[in-house]
Amino acid sequence: MDLLDASLVNWSRAQFAMTAMYHWLFVPLTLGLGVIMAIMETLYLRTGNEEWKKITKFWMTLFGVNFAIGVATGIILEFEFGTNWSNYSWFVGDIFGAPLAIEGIFAFFMEATFISIMFFGWNKVSKKFHLASTWLTVIGATLSALWILVANAWMQFPVGMEFNPDTVRNEMIDFWSILFSPMAINKFLHTVISGWVMGSLFVVGVSAWFLLKKRQVDFALKSMLVGAIFGVVSSLLVAFTGDGSAYNVTQHQPMKLAAMEGLYEGKKGAGLVAFGVLNNDKKSYNDSINPYKFKVEIPYMLSMLGYRDINAFVPGIKDVIDGGYETSSGKALSFTEKQTMGKAARQSLADYQKAITAKDTAAAAIHKAQLKTNFPYFGYSYLDKAEDIIPSVPTVFYSFHVMVMLGMYFIALFSLLLFYTYRQEIEKTKWLLKAALWSIPLGYVAGELGWAVAEVGRQPWAIQDVLPVQAAISGISSQSVQITFFLFLILFTALLVAEIRIMLNQIKKGPEADH
């Protein structure tokens, strides 16, 4: 790959990453705040207390601002598959496009239908119908996330497809295996529930601000209670689904797991790194330099989490490249073996097309069978050396461990907030209220780091083992991608600043503004 191509790949990746990161600043709050406001409106219906209606409308206003901007950034993100990643879209569009189409046709229209009733139907429909509209809006937003996450999970673990050499495209053969793959189910649960944590952090943080200012105390205490309870439950569920995510990564993406743990040499009874600092002198997976300056390790825990066996062998980066270790399906192949199979698959495709042109059906059948055998490693034919399959270890390692530490902090924070709120002492604990307020940005940090682990960790693959990013991009100039990168950066930054200003103004006005 020449320098121009490398520049095009890097800028295309940078643009997509930037767009996705901005988009993910809005989505988690939509998912989490939506459920919380629906719970609050449910309390209003059950109790008949008008205070709960006022509380619901306040959070609903903030939800609406965030929702609108999240939709705008998401649309641009989907367009990039056609502009910057057209080879990817051609190669797997029949599969990847299906969940995106369902998301657009079903979930988006479901949200659009009921969100108008939710905002403008307070005095026009019954209380029960309005509550149903609120819940259906939240469900619609969650279903939107479902189909997007199913598509992303399929890129991490491609199933339910078959390559058609006549069209040179992958075709869906089993929709249900794509929808219900272990990777898809766990990614959906972990990602959506992390949004619930973000919504909880936002509610308790804003409520803490009101309590510190001694404004709208009853409103703030009620919101704090709901946010803290929901936060405790959500943060514990995130930890549970995080364990499931790690298990799926172990089974299907061993290189990502090795990068997450900075594990270069595999071993039995591998420990989980609780805290560590990587050694920057480590330049190659093959050298003898210790990858850590220091680390604190929980014995046997990585083997237990990854294989449910404390004595299981966990492959490191070197093992994934060299192969030869035992897996559930036999001995692991080396990079060289996979590369050989990938090249054989591409050659079989070329030979098949020649045979079809020559109308040699017997030869075409032979080449088609060879292609099918070797296709699972088709993408390795585009890679030059073993180092190409190693993601940025520092990025993945630190992103993963900081995310985990923040998750543990959130559990402690919500537990303390709930404890002091239940004891009616939360107003006296100014240190805890300040911690809640300043923890709002940490929720966004944790979410972005989670996506860094998921996406940087699977590099160089656009589709695991089947299509690397350099083969997935569009044939356009890198300069055009650079121009749109900065245009989108300016646009998204302006939208973010506008949202923050609008939401801060609304928060300062307080719930009384909704009367």
Instruction: Summarize pLDDT for 10-34 with one digit per residue, the tens.
Output: 999 999 999 999 999 999 999 999 9
* Identity of the amino acid at 382: Y
Residue 125: both structure tokens together: 């429909």
451 and 499 in a single domain? The answer is yes
326 and 461 in a single domain? The answer is no
Angstrom distance (rounded) from CA 190 to CA 355: 48
361 and 287 in a single domain? The answer is no
Instruction: Summarize pLDDT for 204-244 with one digit per residue, the tens.
Output: 999 999 999 999 999 999 999 999 999 999 999 999 999 99
Q: What is the DSSP letter of 171?
A: E
Is pLDDT above 50 for 3?
Answer: no
232 and 343 in a single domain? The answer is no
Residue 441: both structure tokens together: 């940005």
Question: 325-356 b/e with 16+ CB inside 10 Å = b?
Answer: eeeeeeebbbbeebbbbbbbbbebbebbeebb
Is pLDDT above 80 for 313?
Answer: yes
Omega of the bond leading into 460 within 30 degrees of 0 (cis) = yes
Q: How many residues does the chain have?
A: 515
Question: 401-424 b/e with 16+ CB inside 10 Å = b?
Answer: bbbbebbeebbebbebbbebbeee
Instruction: Summarize pLDDT for 288-299 with one digit per residue, the tens.
Output: 899 999 999 999
Q: What is the pLDDT of residue 370?
A: 96
- pLDDT (mean) for 350-366: 94
Instruction: Summarize pLDDT for 253-278 with one digit per residue, the tens.
Output: 999 999 999 999 999 999 999 999 99
119 and 230 in a single domain? The answer is yes
What mean pLDDT, rounded, does the chain reach? 92
Angstrom distance (rounded) from CA 71 to CA 104: 11
Distances (CA, A) of 11 to 167, 261, 449: 29, 28, 20
pLDDT interval class at 73 (50, 70, 90): confident
178 and 60 in a single domain? The answer is yes
Model confidence, pTM = 0.93
8 and 156 in a single domain? The answer is yes
Instruction: Summarize pLDDT for 131-176 with one digit per residue, the tens.
Output: 999 999 999 999 989 999 999 999 999 999 999 999 999 999 999 9
pLDDT interval class at 111 (50, 70, 90): confident
Q: What is the pLDDT of residue 514?
A: 44
Q: Please count the structural domains in the chain.
A: 3
Judge contact between 429 and 458, C-beta under 8 A. Answer: no
Residue 505, CA atoms < 13 Å, CB-side half-sphere: 7
Residue keyed to tokens 């991009």: 473
pLDDT interval class at 70 (50, 70, 90): confident
Q: What is the pLDDT of residue 2?
A: 40
Q: What is the pLDDT of residue 328?
A: 82
Residue 511, CA atoms < 13 Å, CB-side half-sphere: 22
Q: What is the pLDDT of residue 513?
A: 47
Q: What is the pLDDT of residue 319?
A: 95
Q: What is the pLDDT of residue 55?
A: 95
318 and 360 in a single domain? The answer is no
363 and 215 in a single domain? The answer is no
Q: What is the pLDDT of residue 226?
A: 97
225 and 320 in a single domain? The answer is no
183 and 101 in a single domain? The answer is yes
Instruction: Summarize pLDDT for 481-513 with one digit per residue, the tens.
Output: 999 999 999 999 999 999 999 999 999 999 864
- pLDDT (mean) for 175-200: 95
Angstrom distance (rounded) from CA 312 to CA 497: 49
Q: What is the DSSP letter of 471?
A: G
Domain of 130 in residue numbering reads as 3-253+391-514
Partners of 313 in the beta sheet? Answer: 268
Q: What is the DSSP letter of 279?
A: -
320 and 340 in a single domain? The answer is no
